[in-house]
Chains A and B, each alone.
Chain A
Amino acid sequence: MIPLTAHRRGVPATVMELRGGHAMRSRLEALGIREGKRITLVSVLGRHGPVILQVEGSSTQIAVGRGMAGRILVSEHAA
């Protein structure tokens, strides 16, 4: 497992774990980011900026602050 921020851009990855409290998990889950879902890293805005990701099957992209994005753990291999 690696943080989403360390994953290759443009290659779908499977969410393995959301490492955070109830509030953070609920917010991510409400937008469809949860264990087992496939997400793709779309863009990384600078060294400390937010990242943009896309959930498979959804038309919208989601911007997530760097700290939160680092706590989304995904599978290491492009599954």
Chain B
Amino acid sequence: MKRLILAGNPNVGKSALFARLTGLDIIASNYPGTTVAYSRGTTVIGGRRITVIDTPGVYCLEPVCAADQVTADILRSLDPGDVVLNVMDATNLERSLTLTLQLLALGAPTVIALNKWDLAEPRGIAIDAAALSEELGVPAVPVVGVSGAGIRELVATLARVPEKPRQPPRTFPETKEARWELIGRITARVQRLSHRHPTFAEGLQELTIRMPWAALFAIVAAALSFWIIRTSAEWFIGSVADPLFMDGFLPFINRLFAGLPDGHWLRLLLLGSSGSPMESFGVLTTGLYVPLVAVLPYIVAFNLVLAVLEDSGYLVRLAVVLDRYFHVLGLHGYAAVPFVLGMGCKVPGVLATRILETEREKMIAMSLILLMTPCMPQSAMILSVVGEHGWQAVAAVFGTLALTGLAAGLLLNRLLKGSAPELFVEIPPYQAPSPLSLLKKTVMRVRSFIAEAVPMIIAGIAAVSVLELVGGIRLLTRVFGPPLTAILDLPPELAVVMVSGFLRKDVSIALLVPFNLGAGQAVVAAVVLVVYLPCVATFTTMARELRPRTVIAVLAIGLAAATAAGVAVRVLLSAAG
């Protein structure tokens, strides 16, 4: 065996099993469409190193079933020596069989993992794994991916799989009728269902998807999530992170570089120009304070809350409840998933738009993600920088972003040919999230923030300092300053802030601090900064996901929306005095 390819329906637990087999960290969640690209890892089976490939879930191998063709492409070009591990959901046996029969028709050596084995019995489902194995002619091993039960047996079975393709390959029934008949026969033989009345807990769970409770529950969940994130992050910053930095780290580096004379270029670069870590713009002061003190606690809190929403199964229900409202924007409710992910970081948000079917939807979704969902670093900085002017100013920023997105969505839905496809999505049962997997997922996402954002923030601050040293700022101000003042009534010196916003949005919001803007100007500047261009990381991800024409269109929409929103806020605020 050279490669082991995991394949199965969406949300059967392929990623959890992949993580078990390879020991790699990979994001697994409780909703269909978590995995949008294939992942590769290695494991040892029977004393040999094997490449393991995780694929996005599909219901069948024909184009109608797969939103994108990644999985079908991999499975249709199997090499000799490839083994297919068909992951089936033991609580959804009959439905899983369509894909299983198609996989068996490929002729490659195949093993079946009957995942979620532990959940079958409580639901009144009894499966005879031996009989299933006999019916299909391949080994079938019960496993529990999230706990690891049965993995050892699975690996032992995989080690015994013959290298050669099965001869002759099982034929896939040609007509639908023959297929259903075969599936019906297999199911009838291997599965016993005992009828069971819904429990009280299940009755309660149903309220979260039934009106009017569903709407109430969604509002409470959103408000509670925001409150938990805000309160816990603010508490941590105020009583742990900020004191540590101000009383521990700052005096330390000040002593360390005490030998450098005032005005020395290195001092300016490392420590910046003033004592306050939000205003100094040194690589070691602002460059570390912004990501590690002001933003990181928000990232941790957000990702913990997100993981609970994902793993419990509520996120997909929220998407269904929001479906009606998303249709107004030309999207269906499942677009809520990339939106929510985008509130953490836009890169995974943009990647998650792959679960949407058409280029039209992807274009609308990406535009709106850029316009109305500032990522967590931006939100954290808006809360702390614009928050200086009171909660009304913060509300004005987020309110303007929401209205801008809404207006753009209405307009795009009207202008672009076509309409939103209908929602069609599976809702997995609720499950209690395991604390360990919540923690693992959060650590993974926080790690990627630290690995990607911190160097970028430091590079951005260094770039601004170097620009200042060589006089580039004056040039930027002269070119971009006048339009900024004329259109948005912002000081021309903000030009450099806008330009740096392309590198990192959180830093550019911090760059506003030394300007001592009025409340109105701060709102305008924050709105424009969030909207006018995506950051470079988001931009490169977008460029990979969309056709160049669509990318240009999305950027143009952002720039136009930034100008329109900025002018609107300026006019409204000056009218209100």
* A residues in contact (CB < 8 Å) with B: 22-23, 26-27, 29-32, 34, 42-46, 48-50, 52, 55, 57-68
Q: In the assembled complex, which residues on chain B have CB atoms less than 8 Å from the CB atom of A57?
A: 94, 187, 191, 193
Say yes or no: B98 contacts A45, CB within 8 Å: no
Residues of B within 8 A of A65 (CB): 323, 332, 421-424
Q: Which of chain B's residues have a CB closer than 8 A to the CB of A43?
A: 206, 209-211, 214
6 contacts across the A-B interface (CB closer than 8 A): A26-B65, A30-B98, A52-B209, A59-B429, A64-B423, A68-B424
Q: Is B427 an interface residue (CB 8 A)?
A: yes
Q: Is the interface of A mostly helix, strand, loop or mixed?
A: mixed
Interface assignment of B324: CB less than 8 Å from any CB of chain A:
yes
CB within 8 Å for A26 and B425 given contacts A45-B323, A52-B320, A65-B332: no
Cβ–Cβ contact B59 & A49, under 8 A: no
CB <8 Å contact, A31 and B422 = no
Q: Residues of B contacting A52 with CB < 8 Å?
A: 209, 320, 427
Q: Nearest chain-B residue to A52 (Cβ)?
A: B209
> Which of B64, B332, B423, B429 contacts A23, CB < 8 Å?
B64
Main secondary structure, interface of B, reads mixed
Known contacts A30-B59, A58-B92, A65-B424: A45-B65 contact under CB 8 Å? no
Q: Which residue among B64, B89, B423, B427 has the maximum number of chain A CB atoms within 10 Å of its CB?
A: B423
Inter-chain CA distance A60–B9, complex, in Å, is 12
How far apart sit A26 and B179, CA to CA, in the bound complex (Å)?
13
B265 within 8 A of partner (CB): no
Does chain A have a CB within 8 A of B72?
A: no
Known contacts A26-B62, A50-B323; A45 and B422 CB within 8 A of each other: no
A64-B320 Cα distance, complex, nearest whole Å: 9
Given contacts A50-B324, A61-B427, A65-B323, 17 further A-B contacts (CB under 8 A): A27-B64, A29-B176, A30-B65, A30-B95, A32-B94, A34-B180, A50-B422, A50-B423, A58-B94, A59-B92, A59-B125, A62-B426, A63-B425, A64-B423, A64-B424, A65-B424, A67-B422
What residues make up the interface of B, taking CB atoms closer than 8 Å to A?
A: 11, 59-60, 62, 64-65, 89, 91-92, 94-95, 98, 119, 123, 125, 176, 180, 187, 191, 193, 206, 209-211, 214, 320-321, 323-324, 327, 332-333, 421-429
Residues of B within 8 A of A62 (CB): 424-427
Task: Indicate if the CB atoms of B193 and A30 lie closer than 8 Å.
Answer: no
3 nearest CB pairs, A to B: A65-B422, A30-B59, A59-B91
Are A46 and B211 within 8 A (Cβ)? yes
Closest to B123 in A: A59
Contact B333 A50 (CB under 8 A): yes
Instruction: Decide yes or no: A60 and B92 within 8 Å by CB, A30-B60, A65-B422 being known contacts.
Output: yes
Given contacts A48-B324, A52-B320, A52-B427, contact A32 B95 (CB under 8 A): yes
Contact of A45 among B60, B209, B332, B426 (CB under 8 A): B209
Q: Is the CB of B324 within 8 A of A45?
A: yes
From B212, which residue of chain A is reached at the shortest CB distance? Answer: A46
Q: Chain B contacts of A30 at CB under 8 A?
A: 59-60, 64-65, 95, 98
Pairwise interchain contact B60-A26, C-beta atoms closer than 8 A: yes
Q: Is the CB of B64 within 8 A of A26?
A: yes
Quick one: given A26-B64, A43-B206, are A63 and B92 in contact (CB under 8 Å)?
A: no
**How near does chain A come to B65, taking the closest CB pair, in angstroms?**
5
Measured CB to CB, the closest approach of chain A to B98, in angstroms, equals 6
Whether the pair A63, B60 counts as a contact (CB closer than 8 A) is no
A46 and B324 in contact, given A30-B59, A63-B427 (Cβ under 8 angstroms): yes
Closest to B323 in A: A50
**Contact between chains at B321 and A45 (CB < 8 Å):** yes
Within the complex, the shortest CB–CB distance from B339 to chain A, in Å, comes to: 17
In the complex, what distance in Å separates the CA atom of A45 from the CA atom of B211?
A: 6
Given known pairs A30-B59, A30-B60, the reply for A63 and B323 (CB within 8 Å) is: yes
The residue in A22, A29, A63 that gathers the most chain B C-beta atoms within 10 A of its C-beta is A63
Q: In whole angstroms, what is the CA distance A44 to B62 when docked? A: 30
B contact residues around A22 at 8 Å (CB): 64
- Which residue of A44, A58, A63 contacts B95 across the interface (Cβ within 8 Å)? A58
Q: Which residues of A lie under 8 Å from residue B65 when comparing CB positions?
A: 26-27, 30
Chain A residues in 8 Å Cβ range of B176 = 29
Greatest chain A CB density within 10 A among B98, B214, B424 is at B424
User: Roughly how many angstroms separate A63 CA and B316 CA in the complex, as a whole number?
Assistant: 10
Query: In the bound complex, do residue B428 and residue A60 qualify as a contact, i.e. CB atoms below 8 Å apart?
Result: yes
Nearest CB in chain A: distance from B548 CB, A: 29
- Cα-based distance from A22 to B60 in the complex (angstroms): 14
A23: chain B residues at CB < 8 Å are 64
B320's nearest neighbour on chain A, judged by CB, is: A63
Docked Cα-Cα span, A61 to B424, in Å, equals 11
Measured between beta carbons, the chain B residues less than 8 angstroms from A45 are: 209, 211, 214, 320-321, 323-324
Residues on the A chain within 8 Å of B427, using CB: 52, 60-63
